[in-house]
């Protein structure tokens, strides 16, 4: 049985995040290999089925109607167009299509009926189907499930404390309520966030506290690096470093051992070496395709070349994530107490020189 904790504290997660990098990578890779095939990566294609005109004010998003960006809006795609894009994605190695619509929330009616038909159509192609459509009611979640939806994406974006500095048009609780509605169906949850939006390390830890507290935890957690877009409030923020991404991926892997950690937005700014470190640290899912809704992404052929170089294989569709078993604070994924990192031991306060001292005595 797998072991998953739902009672991580912010202090514990910060201790993990700030572990000396080589130790952090080792700890994360050890846990990753216990729960996942380190040479298999799930590949998703993200498709914007309705672009622009969103009434929200998310500070990072070029699709908000109130910002003056170069995003060209479009009405809801036809089912036939979506099917053609899904077939193209499947032929390039994707096992999942994630459809995104720039809506604040789903509204019952002809457009939602059209989305349901898209879900049915892609499901018949033997591909996983994911949607990110904004806030969702319990009834809408059940209708999506009946149509064959595999996953629903609804990111927390950041910590509850920092959330109001990023978005004012909906509350953090609204996001949790949507995730709860999805959980009342048999649809899996994809929920993560963005780093590099001006938040503190405590906010990154706070976001992970919120995600790990969910029971069950999300089956997929996207870790995005902010892609600053001209015309948005965050256009002048400097890109986050690769080391921040590696640490965030590794920390997520340690505190969410069963979850697929998705290396998402920002990969165009990462070298192959940087991405390889993220895979080693526990990332085992990516978005493929030249765009992530509206922001640039590496070309599929480049990703497949990188996979070949690293010996990675695309994951087959409908690979199930095993159900986690809740454990108490202090337990970990390591076989014996001697193998446990110091941060995993009950009541331990981290001494940054402690591991070095122990090795010197050995």
Q: Give the residue, 354 or 254, on which the prediction is more confident.
A: 254
Q: Is the pLDDT score of 353 beyond 70?
A: no
Mention every residue, 6+ apart, whose C-beta is less than 8 A from residue 103. Answer: 50, 54, 133, 134
Strand partners, 74: 51
Check 5, 96, 98, 247 and give the catalytic one: 98
In a domain, 171, yes or no: yes
What's the pLDDT score for residue 140? 97
Check 143, 190, 247, 253 and give the catalytic one: 190
In a domain, 339, yes or no: no
In a domain, 356, yes or no: no
How much is the mean pLDDT over the chain? 85
Q: Following DSSP, what letter does each residue of 134-194 receive, concatenated?
A: SB--HHHHHHHHHHT--EEE---BS-HHHHTTT-SSS-HHHHHHHHHHHHTTT-EEE--EE
Give residue 168's Cα distance to chain centre: 22
Window from 27-36, 239-248, 347-356 with minimum mean pLDDT: 347-356
Cα separations in angstroms, 293 against 52, 204, 286? 10, 24, 14
In a domain, 349, yes or no: no
CATH code of the domain in which 202 resides: 3.20.20.70
In the residue annotation, 262 being an active-site residue is answered as yes
In a domain, 4, yes or no: no
Read off the pLDDT band of 155 (50, 70, 90).
Answer: very high
What's the pLDDT score for residue 54? 77
Read off the pLDDT band of 325 (50, 70, 90).
Answer: very low
Q: Is the pLDDT score of 166 beyond 60?
A: yes
In a domain, 276, yes or no: yes
In the residue annotation, 131 being an active-site residue is answered as no
What's the pLDDT score for residue 294? 53
Q: Is the pLDDT score of 296 beyond 50?
A: yes
Q: Is the pLDDT score of 1 beyond 80?
A: no
In a domain, 240, yes or no: yes
Query: What percent of the chain clears pLDDT 90, i.e. is strictly above it?
Result: 62
Cα separations in angstroms, 348 against 15, 123, 213, 250, 351? 10, 48, 21, 20, 9
Distance CA 285, CA 45 (A): 11
What's the pLDDT score for residue 298? 66
What is the residue whose two structure tokens read 């298999």? 40
* Domain carrying residue 255: 29-318
In the residue annotation, 54 being an active-site residue is answered as yes
CB burial string 224-250: b at 16+ within 10 A, e below: bbbbbbeebbbeebeebebebbbbbbb
In a domain, 213, yes or no: yes
Window from 63-72, 224-233, 276-285, 302-311 with minimum mean pLDDT: 63-72
Check 175, 204, 262, 267 and give the catalytic one: 262
Q: How many domains does the chain have?
A: 1
Q: Is the pLDDT score of 2 beyond 80?
A: no
Q: Is the pLDDT score of 199 beyond 70?
A: yes
Q: Give the residue, 55 or 25, on which the prediction is more confident.
A: 25
Check 61, 131, 175, 267 and give the catalytic one: 61
């Amino acid at each position: 049985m797998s072991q998953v904790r739902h009672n991580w504290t912010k202090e514990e997660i910060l201790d993990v995040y700030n572990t000396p990098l080589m130790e952090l990578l080792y700890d994360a890779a050890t846990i990753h290999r216990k729960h996942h095939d380190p040479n298999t990566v799930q590949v998703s294609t993200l498709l914007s089925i309705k672009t622009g005109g969103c009434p929200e004010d998310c500070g990072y998003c070029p699709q908000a109607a109130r910002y003056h960006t170069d995003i060209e809006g479009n009405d809801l795609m036809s089912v036939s167009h979506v099917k053609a894009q899904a077939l193209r994605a499947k032929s390039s190695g994707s096992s999942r299509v994630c459809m995104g619509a720039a809506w604040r929330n789903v509204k019952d009616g002809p457009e939602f009926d059209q989305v349901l038909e898209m879900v049915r159509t892609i499901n018949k192609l033997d591909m996983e189907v994911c949607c990110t459509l904004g806030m969702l009611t319990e009834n809408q979640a059940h209708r999506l499930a009946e149509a064959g939806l595999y996953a629903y994406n609804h990111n927390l974006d950041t910590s509850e404390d920092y959330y109001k500095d990023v978005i004012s048009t909906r509350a953090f609780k609204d996001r949790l309520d949507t995730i709860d509605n999805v959980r009342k169906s048999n649809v899996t949850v994809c929920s993560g966030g963005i780093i590099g939006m001006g938040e503190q390390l405590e906010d990154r830890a706070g976001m992970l506290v919120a995600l790990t507290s969910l029971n069950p935890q999300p089956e997929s957690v996207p870790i995005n690096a902010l892609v600053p877009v001209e015309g948005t409030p965050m256009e002048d923020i400097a890109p986050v470093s690769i080391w921040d991404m590696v640490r965030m991926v590794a920390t997520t892997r340690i505190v969410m051992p069963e979850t697929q950690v998705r290396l998402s937005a920002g990969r165009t700014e990462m070298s192959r070496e940087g991405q390889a470190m993220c895979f080693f640290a526990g990332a085992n899912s990516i978005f493929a395709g030249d765009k992530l809704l509206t922001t640039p992404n590496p070309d599929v052929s480049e990703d497949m070349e990188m996979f070949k170089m690293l010996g990675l294989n695309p994951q087959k569709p409908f690979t199930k994530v095993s159900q986690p078993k809740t454990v108490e604070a202090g337990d970990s994924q390591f076989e014996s107490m001697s193998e446990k990192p110091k941060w995993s031991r009950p009541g331990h306060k981290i001494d940054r020189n402690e591991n070095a001292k122990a090795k010197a005595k050995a």
